Chain A
Amino acid sequence: MADYEIPDDLAFTHEDEWVRREGNNLVVGVTDFAQQQLGDIVYVELPPIGSLVSKGDPFGVIESVKAVSDLYAPVSGEVVDVNSDLAEHPEAVNEDCYGDGWMISIAITSEDELESLMDVPAYRQHVDDRSD
């Protein structure tokens, strides 16, 4: 079984996004499990700053050499920052998915929405359930 990094200061979604709280904003990316499943990332399509996203709805698209997947908003709110480096360096998602591979930052509108996010043990179980 492959070893998937799951940092213990983050929360997670069922769609393999991670979130990190920074003040009133939530920084979002995809997890190590996700980037390994996808393979070499060639393109990440992110929304413009100022867009409004809804929890559970797609906010962007991630493309690897073999697949295209939607990226889902973990919470509702306004996109206040976008990692524009990914346009030139999509491989950052493979190399450092929790750091340089961050994607967007959303201004939190509802604390309640955070409650449905998974903690580390729950996400690890979620990964194990889908791994061989």
Chain B
Amino acid sequence: MLEAIGVGSLEALFASVPHKHRLQGALAVPAAASEQELLAELSALAARNTHHASHDWFLGAGCYAHFIPSAVDAIASRSEFYTAYTPYQAEISQGTLQAIFEWQTMICGLTGLEVSNASMYDGASAAAEAALMAMRITRRTKVVLADSVHPHYREVIQTYLDGLESQIVAAPRAPDGRTAPLAGLVDAETACVVLQQPNFWGSLEDVAAAADAARAHGAKLVVVVSEALSLALLRPPGALGADIVCGEAQSFGVPIGIGGPNLGFMATRAAFVRNLPGRLVGQTVDTEGRRGFVLTLSTREQHIRRERATSNICTNQGLCLLMATVYLSLLGRVGLRKLAERNLAKAEYAKARVRATPGLTLPFAAPTFNEFTVGVRGDAQAALGRALEAGIVGGLDLAPHAPELGPTVLVCATELATRDAIDRLVSALAGGRR
């Protein structure tokens, strides 16, 4: 290589770096390890993690532990899919494009809306992009953002709006755990109301009432979903009047990982399609009349529209989308609903045990799906510590997010939760013996 580029030595490549700035001596890097030594070292590091295979897992709050069938990985890791690049050239990308089109179709079915994009990075950025989209459609600058939207999502929305002419109005929580009625907060300057369903506390919001409140002033309703499985059981937000439904689809066959990579989704009414950010796959026919798929409406995107594009996103979560699409097609509509019902049943059992246990309360009266807020006695950290000692990750300490509630924990019970684990969790949180 040195000979090929006409350089005498490796040293000569660094000739422009002054001697006084060069490292003297060897790099402080350990000697090369064998594959066996390396695996042992990495396994030891990994063993320090607490994860849902090592512990009973009741932590949700935006990242959900669900069972992922082996077929998902087996299909997604096929090299035809796994090594494929972005489907810019339709002729050689029909597999990828069809998978995305199937995803878009399923998201439309789940959300009750007419058009979906090819995915976003994650729920938080999808929520932020949805707010921007509503601002573009209405040409207004005010966003009514429910306090009951995930705190990380709210921070990201604030970040995206920072620097734009915009105003965020907070919609407070009501005593039952839902967002308080919005009348009075929405006006002629409001671009959208942003609500999460189920909300951060686990409570089910009144989407239809929020849609009415928004529409009364010509504002749009954005419904953000962080537990996508809820869409299989609740009435589709689009059918209830939501104009944009977006959020996190990690629950559909995407591992928790390291809190990512995630899978954002966004769907809207056909009338707003040109304001949608992200990629869009369309179905068409080729010159011989055969069905084919292509990226379409690309003039929304920044490589054509530049600073007036709908977003600066120029990608999608292709691999995670593929896993989710495989997962959804394996479960099917009926299977997904049954899974959601099982989640609800587990959570309702857990709530019943909480109600029956002295020292524990359910502070919010609104109905829930698979996640709910539990009031503990004394100290939430101590309660979660007791659970951890019993091999249980008990949930999220809500003190940083809602100190006014006193010691509370956000608990999520998915299909992975056994009755025994729930009983032990409740006992640990209460501090008593079983």
Contact = CB atoms under 8 A, between A and B. Distances in A.
Interface in A52-104: 61, 63, 68
Interface residues of A, number: 5
Contacts of A45: 274
B304 interface: yes
A43 interface: yes
B401 interface: no
Interface string B270-294: 0000100000000000000000000
B274 A68 contact: no
B77 interface: no
Contacts of A61: 308
Contacts, number: 8
Interface centre among B274, B299, B304, B308 (most CB of A within 10 A): B299
B305 interface: yes
A45 B299 CA distance: 12
Nearest to A63: B299
A43 B308 CA distance: 16
B296 to A, nearest CB: 11
A45 to B, nearest CB: 8
B136 to A, nearest CB: 11
A45 B274 CA distance: 10
Interface string B10-37: 0000000000000000000000000000
Contacts of A68: 299, 304-305
Nearest to A68: B299
Interface of A: 43, 45, 61, 63, 68
8 contacts: A43-B274, A43-B299, A45-B274, A61-B308, A63-B299, A68-B299, A68-B304, A68-B305
Interface of B: 274, 299, 304-305, 308
7 smallest CB-CB distances across A and B, nearest first, come from: A68-B299, A63-B299, A68-B304, A68-B305, A43-B274, A43-B299, A45-B274
Given A43-B274, A43-B299, 6 more contacts: A45-B274, A61-B308, A63-B299, A68-B299, A68-B304, A68-B305
